[in-house]
Amino acid sequence: MNVYHITYAPSPGIFFLYFWGCNMECRACLCKKEIYDCHLEETKRAIFEESKEVPQAPSRFLDLNEVLEILKGRDISQVIFMGAEPTIDAELPKLAKALHRKFHSYNILLTNGLKLISTKHIDEVVLSIKAYKESLHQDYTGVSNKSILENFSTLYQEGKKLRAESLFIPNYIDSPEIGRIAQFIAGIDRNIAYRIDAYLPVGNNPWRRPTPIEVEQAAQVARRHLLNVSCLRGDERLEYEVRRIV
Ligand code: SF4
């Protein structure tokens, strides 16, 4: 499989499975700065450093049985598939099925939405909508957002529990664009939860980090269209301990 890193939050019983590889090239991809869980003691401060450089690509990957062995015997409430992009791993549906069967876990997929996979054993999808304006999406990710927006709608029509999130980047993916994304989501269902995350400077991009107030203001714009909007302003503390397993 593409799984290269696993972390665990014992108090809520959440496993975080990190998948390597992606089918997009976002200019502000956090993997350019940190490929391991950014809530660990060894990573949580470094991601705020402007000069932080990406570690090398993972040297080891786990197969499906190794992943299941690692999870065996622990309290599991949720398993979150994340990383770079989990959907490009052809074995993900098989893993999700095995996790349901063996551990009765609540499986959450974080995805860019470009590739639609079988979600039979995925309980919830969190789809990151990078931009609504096609030209902006092309500029930021290198690909069109047409199929992503269609896939978002398809997942909703299939009755899948669905959330959306976006990155707020000052003077680039800013409040007007967040408003357009929120309007698109509201056209499907005003109750869909939407989270806006503050941009963390990555690579040679010209953008600065937003202030917490700017992120709040973008959330207010989204609330004109949606009923359940939250934001990560970039100054929050983690509510629970996260441990590295692999
Ligand atoms: S979709 Fe996610 S993993 Fe892929 S390039 Fe964009 S931010 Fe990175």
- Which ligand 1 atom is at minimum distance from the Cα of 28? 7
Q: Is residue 47 part of a domain?
A: yes
Nearby residues of 119 by Cβ (< 8 Å), 6 or more positions away: 109, 125, 155, 158, 160
Residue 138 within a domain? yes
Instruction: Dig out the tokens for 16 from the structure.
Output: 């975080």
Whether 24 lines ligand 1, by a CB cut-off of 6 Å, is yes
112 lines ligand 1 (CB under 6 A): yes
Residue 130 domain flag: yes
Output the pLDDT for position 55.
Answer: 63
Q: What is the 3-state secondary structure (H, E, C) of 107-135?
A: EEEEECCCCCCCCCCCCEEEEECCCCCHH
Among 2, 19, 25, 29, which residue has the most ligand 1 atoms within 8 Å of its CB, making it the best to mutate? 29
**59 located within any domain:** yes
**Residue 25 CB coordination number (10 Å):** 11
Residue 227 lies in a domain: no
Residue ranges of the chain whose pLDDT lies below 70: 50-55
Residue 94 lies in domain:
3-165+239-244
Tell me if 205 is assigned to some domain. Answer: no
Task: Indicate the number of domains in the chain.
Answer: 1
Regarding the beta carbon of 79 and ligand 1, being less than 6 Å apart is answered: no
109 CB under 6 A from ligand 1? no
pLDDT of 42 reads: 81
Instruction: Judge if the beta carbon of residue 215 lies within 6 A of ligand 1.
Output: no
Domain with residue 90: its CATH number is 3.20.20.70
Residue 210 lies in a domain: no
Q: Is the pTM of this model over 0.75?
A: yes
Residue 175 lies in a domain: no
Contacts of 91 (CB under 8 A, 6+ apart): 1, 64
